[in-house]
Structure 1
Amino acid sequence: MELSTWRRRLALAGCGTAVILLAAAPLAAAETSGTPVAPITLSPEESQQVCGDWVPKLTTRATKLTDRINGGPEVAGSVANLKARAEDQKKKGHADAADRLTKRAEKRSGRLADLATAKQKLDAFTGAHCKPAAPAPTK
């Protein structure tokens, strides 16, 4: 019995997929074993880059996001804006769209806790690892 080209290709693809899944299963199980991860060490240059470039950018980004979420109805992306849009959709008779906007507003307001935690972690990192710039020596 001869298999057509497509059936042969399908059989090969199925066998290949099965082999990959069997080979990947132990690897996936090993990743979730809970083994401790070694701490990351940074060189002084890398630490300076993190403290000088990344931490200020991340802090600014978290602050801007918090301000946007807490903004009034005129601020695009704020919780108040989403709720106002939901009310507008309800008035127009679009209940599904109003529900989606309300859910987005609830989810977005839940992000404030995440942003506060991120700010705390950034502040803790800055306090522990970033030294303030030393003043230039005077003569």
Structure 2
Amino acid sequence: MPANRVSISRRAAALGALALAGSLLTAAPAHAGGGNGTPSGAPTAAATPKNDGAKGICKRLPKTEARITKALERLNGDATVVGSVARLQQRAGEAKAAGHAEIETYLNNRLTARKALVTNLQARQADLKAVGTWCAAHGEGTGK
């Protein structure tokens, strides 16, 4: 008889789980719209940001400017500077002279990306000047 009791309790647990799952499935459509009476696509007050992060951006501005300036100095360096565009051009030229076509292709593709990075960083640097002006006008960020 003990085996029979285990079997009954297992059946009861299975039926309880099935009933719970059924009740959750029938309740799910009521909560699908957000549960607060607003359509599911409409933003709620809790979903909107409290600020745009201007204070943090202004606070980090000096460090961000320094990083971009340092990167541009490296990229615009001469052929002796590791990571510069000139050094990569020199390496691509040496690969071409040595007859390593695959290496030359690889280095030229990196060179294209690196030149694009210079353009991107210059645009960011210009944007940061405008941000710095805005931060100063609004008294945001101490840079510390």
Provide closer, same or farther for how the CA distance between residues 42 and 107 of structure 1 changes in structure 2, counting only shifts above 3 A: closer
1:51: which partner in 2? 58
Rounded to whole Å, the distance in 1 between the matches of 2:121 and 2:109 is 19
2:51: which partner in 1? 41
Query: Which structure 1 residue ranges, 5 or more long, are not aligned?
Result: 1-37, 134-139
- Does 1:87 pair with 2:93? yes
2:127: which partner in 1? 121
Provide closer, same or farther for how the CA distance between residues 42 and 96 of structure 1 changes in structure 2, counting only shifts above 3 A: closer
Deviation by residue 1:44-65 (Cα, 9 ceiling, x = unmatched): xx82x5434x111111111111
Where does 1:1-139 land on structure 2 (aligned, <5 Å)? 41=51, 47=55, 49-52=56-59, 54-130=60-136, 131=139
- Which amino acid in the other structure matches residue 99 of structure 2? G
Query: Which structure 2 residue ranges, 5 or more long, are not aligned?
Result: 1-47
Deviation at 1:132, TM superposition (A): 8.6
Rounded to whole Å, the distance in 2 between the matches of 1:40 and 1:126 is 22
Provide closer, same or farther for how the CA distance between residues 114 and 40 of structure 1 changes in structure 2, counting only shifts above 3 A: farther
Deviation at 1:41, TM superposition (A): 2.0
What is the DSSP-based 3-state SS (H/G/I as helix, E as strand, rest coil) of the residue aligned with 1:100? helix
Q: 1 or 2 for the larger relative contact order (CA 8 Å, sep ≥6)?
A: 2
Deviation at 1:112, TM superposition (A): 1.9
TM-score by length of 1: 0.56
TM-score by length of 2: 0.55
Provide closer, same or farther for how the CA distance between residues 70 and 98 of structure 1 changes in structure 2, counting only shifts above 3 A: same
Deviation at 1:68, TM superposition (A): 1.2
Report % sequence identity. Answer: 30
